[in-house]
Chains A and B, each alone.
Chain A
Amino acid sequence: MEVARYWRANRQRYQLVGEVCPNCQGKIFPPRDVCPVCEKEAKTPFTFSGHGEVYSYSTVYQAADGYEQATPYTVAMIRLAEGPLISAQLTDVDESDVKIGMPVEMVTRALREDGERGMIVYGYKFRPVMAVA
């Protein structure tokens, strides 16, 4: 993991900043500057609410280099409230309690540790929406 690559994506990864298409109003994450629906330029920044629901989930036991300290961990696809589907880890929850359709919200957590350079990469994960006390 190179430092420049990390910084380049840090607004996406910390704050879920994507884009909105001025033509169809579709919300885009990650930012790609071209609307995937109408294929027109879409460079207007849009910050997502961080709310969504679980579309699918599983548990990773055999991780890639850089992620093995965290195993096992739960991965998911999340349908964001504004429309896009993204992949992320779930946190603060047991896999046995996860259900498709479960409401979740974004938090910032460590994603990976790079042994050689000692760099810790932070980014979005999702946790169950806490019931209001």
Chain B
Amino acid sequence: MTVVLETTGLMKSFGGVQVIDDLSMQLHDGEALGIVGPNGAGKTTLFNLITGVYRPDAGRVTFNGKDITGLARQDRCRAGIGRTFQIPKPFSDMSVFENVLVCAAYGRSMTERASYERCVQTLELTRLSPQANQQAGTLPLLDRKRLELARALAGDPKVLLLDEIAGGLTEGEVEILIDTIKDLHREGISIIWIEHIVHALLAVVQRIVAISFGRNLIEGDPNEVMCSDEVQACYMGGTPL
């Protein structure tokens, strides 16, 4: 299996607190990988290191076999790494279409024609086409989540990073979102998904990496990881699945 994205020995501290501590992980081409860990374990920070929001104090990020640790944020996006945010901030006054268009045009510096086409395609993929002309700020929660996905997909990423995209949805809505994420995965996009709604993760991912205090805790088969003593103790609180 080819590794599409890899972090090796990542280190990051904030104000003397070691938030990421020798973290290494791999994402295989076409894989859907889940990440779990306690609140404050460093999951979002890991995404920030992969996408270039922060530079690691030590360690590397490799994408498609190239070291991208020194690359600027927008260059990583253009290289094919898309992400959604735990606390989304769409342009509320713009339409859904415009929101996605901005991400397509700037994210990958495509021609105008190509951006439009990518935009239409992305809205189809996320099933947002009927809402294309609606103002983003007026969307109900599930559609806001879809928009967050669409914005991340606009640059035609090879790897998609999802940060708690299911948070706040009703159970029925989570099921719908799961279907959409499965569609994206089937399209060939490799996915890393951070999520506390464990059953949603288990419905999609093929492997889970659990982290705690910024360190690798355990990884492997999703059910085995979630049932492991380590994950039960520090994350699940001993509740049976």
Whether A associates with B in a native complex is no
> Footprint of A on B, CB under 8 Å?
none
